[in-house]
Amino acid sequence: MSARHFLSMMDYTPAELVGVIRRGVELKDLRNRGVLFEPLRGRILAMIFEKSSTRTRVSFETGMIQLGGQAIFLSPRDTQLGRGEPIADGARVMSRMVDAVMIRTFAHSNLIEFATHSRVPVINGLSDDLHPCQLLADMQTFLEHRGSIQGKTVAWIGDGNNMCNSYIEAAIQFDFQLRVACPEGYEPSAQFLALAGDRVTLTRDPYEAVEGAHLISTDVWTSMGQEEEAAKRLALFKPFQVNREMLDRAATDVLFMHCLPAHRGEEISVDLLDDPRSVAWDQAENRLHAQKALLEFLVAPAYTPA
């Protein structure tokens, strides 16, 4: 049987996704109580990073070690993948040695190509299209602070980027209403919007989007790989800065999330991460717990002693 992957939120059933985030809550509790839990002893995760990372790298590497396994960091600069070896060949070889592969890349098709030729689970650690691991952490964070997100209203403010596309998938899978406020020409991809139907609405007015919302989320205006557009985007996105006044228009128990890294003074006001409604640090921590649950779900448990 071919391995199961995690390239998108749509790869799992809603029940499986809820199961993973609930397990993330349990693993967090085990860790907080100092319980050693090492089901992945002897297992190895390869991590291919074509783009920079703090949270994704540290959470996956730490997570594997805490689960009893190990992680190998690979940059294209140092592997043959960076010198033109076909992705399919890299996948065939690596997946005969390691037990899972996490990839952060540009084109989403690279992930699909790798997964197609991999014997072991492949995890999307961010592509130009999607960032599903971040959504596991976001959904765990909402669950911990407010309970089920089903039937709630979420506002996505800013760029219709990889994070926004993953919020659209989460809206479908976790059954919430998503309002996206973005400048003209920066909408999320049509393929994701089509998938969501009337679960997602688009507006040009961020204040309209946040009215009564239970969760507000945003991200940088210039994603990795778009650096040349930074100046143009900075001017265009100005009306989409999330600030305390915007949060005041939302539900009284609104939460604010940002996947980080944040640019204070750009997509968020300088003080927003200090607002009590912001749960960005819990959200960042939950990358560790949610992904440990994902690894436990995907990777076969420890070898038996000889």
Residue number, nearest CB to ligand NVA: 223
Does the footprint of ligand NVA cover residue 163 (CB under 6 A)?
yes
Question: Backbone phi, then psi, for 257, in 5-degree steps?
Answer: -130, 150
Question: Backbone phi, then psi, for 224, in 5-degree steps?
Answer: -60, 130
* Whether residue 287 lies in the annotated active site: yes
Do residues 71 and 288 make contact, with C-beta atoms less than 8 angstroms apart?
A: no
Do residues 76 and 102 make contact, with C-beta atoms less than 8 angstroms apart?
A: no
The Cα 79–Cα 71 span in angstroms is 16
* Whether residue 131 lies in the annotated active site: yes
**In angstroms, what is the minimal distance from the CB of 239 to ligand CP?**
24
Q: Segment near ligand CP (CB under 6 A), from 5-13, 20-28, 48-56, 236-244?
A: 48-56
Residues 99-158 that bind ligand CP (CB under 6 A): 126, 134
What does the per-residue mask of binding to ligand NVA show for 181-220, with x meaning CB under 6 A? --------------------------------------xx
Q: How many residues does the chain have?
A: 306
Do residues 133 and 57 make contact, with C-beta atoms less than 8 angstroms apart?
A: no
Q: What is the number of helices (H) and of strands (E) in the chain? A: 11, 9
Contacting ligand NVA (CB under 6 A), which of 124, 161, 165, 241? Answer: 161
Cα angle at 15 between 95 and 158, to 5 degrees? 80
**In angstroms, what is the minimal distance from the CB of 222 to ligand NVA?**
8
Does the footprint of ligand NVA cover residue 262 (CB under 6 A)?
no
Residues recognised as catalytic: 104, 131, 134, 219, 259, 287
Residues near ligand NVA (CB under 6 A) are 126, 161-163, 219-220, 223-224, 259
Residues that bind ligand CP (CB under 6 A): 53-56, 126, 134, 259-261
